[in-house]
Amino acid sequence: MEHTFYITTPIYYVNASPHIGHAYTTIVADVLARYHRLRGFRTFFSTGTDEHGDKIVEAAQKAGVTPQAYADQISAQFRALWPELAVTNDVFVRTTDPNHVETVRRILQKVHEGGDIYFGQYEGFYCVGCERFYMEKELVGGRCPQHETVPEHRKESNYFFRMSRYQEWLIRHISEHPDFIRPERYRNEALAFLRDPLEDLCISRPKSRLTWGITLPFDENYVTYVWFDALINYVTAIGYPEGENFRTFWPVAEHLIAKDILKPHGIYWPTMLKAAGIEPYRNLNVHGYWNIDQSKMSKSLGNVIRPLDLKDKYGLDPFRYFLLRDMVFGLDSSFSEEAFIQRINSDLANDLGNLVSRTMAMAVKYAGDCVPEPVETAEEDGLLRETAALTVTEVETCFSELALHKALIAIWDFINVTNKYIVEREPWVLAKDPVNRDRLKTILYNLLEALRITAVLITPFMPGSAAKIFEQLGIADAAGQNLESLQPWGGLKAGNELKRGEPLFPRVETRAETAKPEGITVEAQPSIKPEISHEEFEKVDLRVAKVLAAERVPKSKKLLKLTVEIDGERQIVAGMGVDYSPEAIVGKTIVVVANLKPAKLMGIESRGMLLATDTSEGLTLLGFDRPPKTGAKIH
């Protein structure tokens, strides 16, 4: 039987340009699609843009253009971005496409005819950011839990989808299919939603308020609610209802989303499908959120990361690698440029990049320009071969569990075993005596075969780098590049022409490395944090203080217990003990954060924090040119 695989990403709102969060989901989808193609599955991959609703109208109004013009412009940005990130989607759905409009109307008609749509009154709290109504109890302090904005109170006549009718069915379906929503934490979250009675879903908006949407097939005066419209893209993409693609791919549909849109995908969508007489999707795969340097990414914080900026600065494959390696699927992760550079330098330049250059350099030097024939397999080669076989199996398991970071860890373990194989076999020593010729050939062959296996395994993650390794190994045919060719060991053809290439991953010099004075180690400069407003800064109460007394905290090298004078005396515990003795710090006029929440350090209460900075000789306290008054405010 032919194996098939269908992967979807959310269709992204066109109210803002693409950022790293959109790139992450779409690259994960791409890695999954590429992996399945590599396994010989017939694969379909869809993405696109979500263009109707209040949110887009608001954004277009702000930009002073029509919703259509606005949608065209931002949708084009998404469409153009994906090839730049080596994303291989088969289709790009826009909800303004005529075939999608047609599909939505068809499904609405069907559900209406089935008796699951009725007319009624709605009153509730609407968050335009989420494009959904909230129940009062779902709000946090009267605000939307996602956007932290106060939702609009709305009361209007509308059409409703009888979602409540499918509540019991959905609970049963989720219970009987433990993988339907995964990882488990999100399945539990969906089941928790379903513990309360499910309300019917308001699925229309009166044209008197919103015209930017798909007109209901059974009432000209209303447009379709944007989520009802958007979710249907997943079947539009494969030609519902007649298309051959629909028959082939719908039964294996895998949706990929982040946790923000669990409810529409985990609750609305399966019940909509049930009402429309379409079988449920196979899996909903839910990942966590990227934060930036520990804070939420948002336009207002000014910390939105644009994927092309990172790609241009560090290269595409490192960017893809980092995203996949540094997020545990299902959990949140924090992006920092330092962590990214660290990964490039250690995992890519050091481990993989060096392995490729060393192996290729030795192979060309000792075996000429071709892959040598292995002659003697020694027992000591067993570990490398066994690790290769185990890695292939482990990667397969990781993919089936969506543990993509673990797949990379497994591949890197293999890379490290190969690097160790070089160190232990010392080909450069063997090369000195012709007696070792056959053994040397075998070792070189093993190294080149290990490189080929690595290249195949990294193909879904870093297709460009994999292609460069294949080129160096003289492998042009797909047969040597697919997963099936990995077992048994020995798929690399002897005689292939070897071509040395440029280093795959140049090291990234950090600012500190470039400016490093000889003999002194300077920490990498942290990048400037996201902008804050004046009001936010005003919240920090900085004061001039005088150190009245100091003593070391017992059993601590670093901590000093200080008595300082600001608005009276107070106690601060500071980590200055390596750089300042108690005697040296007493009498100093310093700067203190005076309104920091009290904390306990080694059981001692500390009320405030001293300001200091690093120098090549250690920490130094902030001071003044002219002596200020104790307690003075710093502004």
Residue 132 interacts with ligand MSP (CB under 6 A)? no
For the bound state, the minimum distance from the C-beta of residue 305 to ligand MSP, rounded and expressed in Å, comes to 9
Among 596, 600, 613, CA closest to 573: 600
Closer Cβ to ligand MSP, 25 or 271, answer by number: 25
For the bound state, the minimum distance from the C-beta of residue 13 to ligand MSP, rounded and expressed in Å, comes to 4
Residue 82 interacts with ligand MSP (CB under 6 A)? no
Helix (H) or strand (E) run with residue 404 in it: helix 404-425
Q: Give 316's contacts (C-beta < 8 A, 6+ positions apart).
A: 84, 85, 86, 464
Residue 25 interacts with ligand MSP (CB under 6 A)? yes
Query: 543: which strand partners?
Result: 592, 633
CA separation for the pair 461, 24 (Å, rounded): 12
Residue-wise burial string across 77-97, b where 16 or more C-beta atoms lie within 10 A, e elsewhere: ebeebbeebbbebbbbbbbbb
Q: Are strands 283-287 and 181-182 parallel, antiparallel or unpaired?
A: parallel
CA dihedral 436, 441, 443, 445 (to 10 degrees): 180
CA separation for the pair 553, 573 (Å, rounded): 8
CA dihedral 232, 54, 72, 15 (to 10 degrees): -100
Decide if 616 contacts 579 (C-beta within 8 A): no
Angle CA 349–355–357, to nearest 5? 85
Among all residues, which ones are annotated catalytic?
Answer: 19, 22, 127, 130, 144, 147, 296, 299
x/- mask, ligand MSP, residues 88-127, rule CB under 6 A, reads: ----------------------------------------
Site for ligand MSP in 214-253 (CB under 6 A): 230-231, 233
Q: Which stretch binds ligand MSP (CB under 6 A): 6-14, 118-126, 211-219, 438-446?
A: 6-14
Closer Cβ to ligand MSP, 103 or 233, answer by number: 233
Q: Which stretch binds ligand MSP (CB under 6 A): 178-186, 255-263, 368-376, 558-566?
A: 255-263
Residue 24 interacts with ligand MSP (CB under 6 A)? yes
Residue 10 interacts with ligand MSP (CB under 6 A)? yes
Residue 258 interacts with ligand MSP (CB under 6 A)? yes
Q: Which stretch binds ligand MSP (CB under 6 A): 4-12, 63-71, 209-217, 489-497?
A: 4-12
- Give me 269's structure tokens: 């969508």
For the bound state, the minimum distance from the C-beta of residue 302 to ligand MSP, rounded and expressed in Å, comes to 15
Residue 22 interacts with ligand MSP (CB under 6 A)? yes
Among 495, 498, 497, CA closest to 374: 495
Q: Find the binder of ligand MSP among 290, 329, 412, 445 (CB under 6 A).
A: 290
Residue 32 interacts with ligand MSP (CB under 6 A)? no
Q: What are the CA-CA distances from residue 168 to residues 194, 261, 450 (Å)?
A: 9, 21, 52
Q: What are the CA-CA distances from residue 362 to residues 309, 346, 370 (Å)?
A: 37, 22, 12
Decide if 450 contacts 21 (C-beta within 8 A): no
Closer Cβ to ligand MSP, 284 or 610, answer by number: 284
Q: Which stretch binds ligand MSP (CB under 6 A): 16-24, 177-185, 486-494, 586-594?
A: 16-24
Closer Cβ to ligand MSP, 233 or 459, answer by number: 233
User: What is the number of the residue whose Cβ is closest to ligand MSP?
Assistant: 21
Q: Which stretch binds ligand MSP (CB under 6 A): 9-17, 71-79, 312-320, 569-577?
A: 9-17
Closer Cβ to ligand MSP, 294 or 521, answer by number: 294
Site for ligand MSP in 41-80 (CB under 6 A): 50
Question: Footprint of ligand MSP on this chain (CB under 6 A)?
Answer: 10-13, 21-22, 24-25, 50, 230-231, 233, 257-258, 260-261, 289-290, 297
